[in-house]
Structure 1
Amino acid sequence: MREFPALRVPIIAAPMAGGPSTPALVRAVGAAGGLGFLAAGYRTPATVAAAIAEVRTGGTDLFGVNLFVPDPTPIDVAAVEAYRQALLPLAAQLGVEQLPEPAPDDDSWQDKVELLVDDPVPVVSFTFGLPDRTTVERLHAVDSYLVGGVTSVDDALEAVRRGLDALVVQGPDAGGHQCTFRTSDPAPTTPLDTLLAAVRAAVPVPLIAAGGLSDTAEVRRVLEAGAVAAQLGTAFLLTPEAGTNPTHRAALTQPGFTETVLTRCFSGRLARGLRNAFVEAYDALAPACYPAVNQVAGPIRRAAAAAGDPQHTHLWAGTGWRLAAEEPAGEVVARLWPGTD
């Protein structure tokens, strides 16, 4: 068993694709003693390479890169087209001229793997599934530490069989996408503490706890339960270093938003965010088809965000979003783990 990288502070800033995870955030969390992640999802290999270079230029040696693992399940073309048609009136209302038809997209998986083999980083993590054994061996050969996100004991066992070094055990309170392996998997319901104990009993590798964690007491609780670190994403969304868009930032502090929900309506995969008008209208209509739904709904989300309309864009947030603060990332780390210089 490979030891988890030594951290001065057992805090990990979760990879948050779509903008929030920036080189500046990775550097700030690293400087505070924790571990930051670049999110490679939705980015081209060239922009991922540039972000890695920017982190290194800033003097951060220990950091990670997260990859989305493609789901080979064929999409239900008819279901996605029906959803696209249902969205057209809203698109017109928001000034979006057309919604694209879905196209095959594996998020440049192989090119990103090649990038990380040619330009190795200390830690590589995986969301939405597991790499094959060949990929694991290639990344191990360049001395990258490999981490897989799991939401069940069965997935944890498979991750260990594939040769991964550590696991992010994600509870259902996590903001953003769930780490379920298959797009059609049902919503996870096992509370983080229960899942962490079950996975700890089943596998011998280091475990990272994630999902709804928001304060010092919760971080200490999961560490006492056997986790080597706590991973948080929502806690960093309001930091100046994060690339969270202004509409999302504002919504996180607005009293009108009162709860989070798991929904497929924005991407086709289950993800937790603030309940808004889009969720109310389209949650029941969205098929379990990723990235097809993500492609179809993307122009609406982007138009709403650009217009400052929080009711029709995704507002990813974990259940503890009310405790997110507008403060530097280093101060967030220090608040979560008091006594750190």
Structure 2
Amino acid sequence: MTTVLPDLALPVIAAPMAGGPGTPAFVVAAGRAGGMGFLAGGYQPPTAFAEEIATVTAAGVPFGVNLFAPNTVPVDAAAYRDYAALLATEAARFGVGLPPDPVEDDDAWRDKLEVLRQWPVPLVSFTFGLPPAADLALLRATGAALAQTVTSVTEARAAAEAGLDVLVVQAAAAGGHSGTFTPDLPVPVVPLPALVAEIRAAVPLPVIAAGGVGTAADVAAALGAGATLVAVGTVLLRAAEAGTSATHRAALADPARTTTVVTRAFTGRPARGLRNDFTDRYSAVAPAGYPALHTLTRPIRRAAAAAGDPERVHLWSGTGFRHATDDPVGTILARLAAGA
């Protein structure tokens, strides 16, 4: 095991899942099982982020945190207004209002860096793009190892040139947002083992493999291709300790749900989830624009989740969703590691 990554009993770890599933209890459970988990800093207010870090630190388990690196996708104002008008009927269904103007922000990036200065974490990973060099230096000064989500050899080389320590190689089969640096371009559909092997041949950095992993055979294939660790997310969404909404849990177990799609209809960035009415109606007409579309659709998604309406909420899911079970996190990670 490389010294950059913790020496773990299991080669399978819990991926960061922003927006609810990745609770402190979830991360602690992964650590106590012999793996580790990532707290998701994305969408978190800085105070809540600090509290979660404090909670997991107190548990004494290995863990990391993930941040959304600033990489805004500006939205065309007219396209935003047109899309908001289309969504008005969805908002009216739940009696919620929608932001009339685009909201462009950096997810409190600077405040979260300050949290990590005050609460140092052993491993910090980034998604959506490379952080500025000065910010990488700031985090390195805390003693953290730095990991970058990449989806191609080009991105992996850029990460290595920027001095990152670890690559999180994410295949297109992954659930939730793609970590691509260029969300306006399609992410090539390459099986995870092939992508790991390709990047390992090009860039001499340790790899955490992720994307579409649902079985022990999937884990063994990624490790065999050269990964040091394998991160899983979707397969843990129904786990007892996950903060996944009841609506999302039910959809993952629904035998009528058979397909995942990549859509920007919910957030303005490409993300993979279970197909539903919202993706069918709006994927072809949604403009690019992150985080503006995330903020626009959030009232609808929150209301739909609370109402038990799976047709108007983002049901983030990778292609291995059929393997998600409601077992404890430790049981699932051990099962996945059985063939390693």
What is the match of residue 17 of structure 2? Answer: 16
Asked if the contact 1:71–1:183 (Cα under 8 Å) also holds between the matched residues in 2, the reply is no
1:287-298 equivalence runs, <5 A: 287-298=287-298
**Identity across aligned pairs (percent)?**
53
What is the match of residue 181 of structure 2? Answer: 181
1:278-289 equivalence runs, <5 A: 278-289=278-289
5+ residue gaps, structure 1: none
Distance 2:74 2:173 in 1: 28
Matched residue SS, 2:312: coil
Distance 1:113 1:184 in 2: 27
1:119-198 equivalence runs, <5 A: 119-198=119-198
**Superposition RMSD on alpha carbons, in Å?**
1.5
Matched residue SS, 1:311: helix
What is the match of residue 7 of structure 2? Answer: 6
What is the match of residue 29 of structure 1? Answer: 30
Asked if the contact 1:132–1:162 (Cα under 8 Å) also holds between the matched residues in 2, the reply is no
Matched residue SS, 2:39: strand
Q: 1:193, CA displacement in angstroms?
A: 2.2
Q: 1:72, CA displacement in angstroms?
A: 4.3
Q: 1:77, CA displacement in angstroms?
A: 1.5
Q: 1:142, CA displacement in angstroms?
A: 1.5
Q: Report how many residues are paired.
A: 339
1:93-104 equivalence runs, <5 A: 93-104=93-104
What is the match of residue 232 of structure 2? Answer: 232
| Counterpart AA for 1:173 | A
- Which consecutive aligned stretches of 4+ in structure 1 deviate over 3 angstroms post-superposition? 97-100
Matched residue SS, 2:303: helix
Distance 2:307 2:73 in 1: 35
Distance 1:13 1:290 in 2: 25
Distance 1:153 1:159 in 2: 10
2:242 matches 1:242: yes
Q: 1:182, CA displacement in angstroms?
A: 3.0
Distance 2:331 2:252 in 1: 19
Q: Which moved more, 1:4-13 or 1:244-253?
A: 4-13
2:74 matches 1:70: no
Q: 1:58, CA displacement in angstroms?
A: 2.3
What is the match of residue 201 of structure 2? Answer: 201
TM-score normalised by the chain length of structure 2: 0.96
TM-score normalised by the chain length of structure 1: 0.96
What is the match of residue 58 of structure 1? Answer: 59
Q: 1:95, CA displacement in angstroms?
A: 2.2
Matched residue SS, 1:7: coil
5+ residue gaps, structure 2: none
Distance 1:96 1:31, change over 3 A: same
What is the match of residue 306 of structure 2? Answer: 306
Distance 1:316 1:74, change over 3 A: closer
Q: Which moved more, 1:76-85 or 1:168-177?
A: 76-85
Asked if the contact 1:91–1:99 (Cα under 8 Å) also holds between the matched residues in 2, the reply is no
Asked if the contact 1:148–1:159 (Cα under 8 Å) also holds between the matched residues in 2, the reply is yes
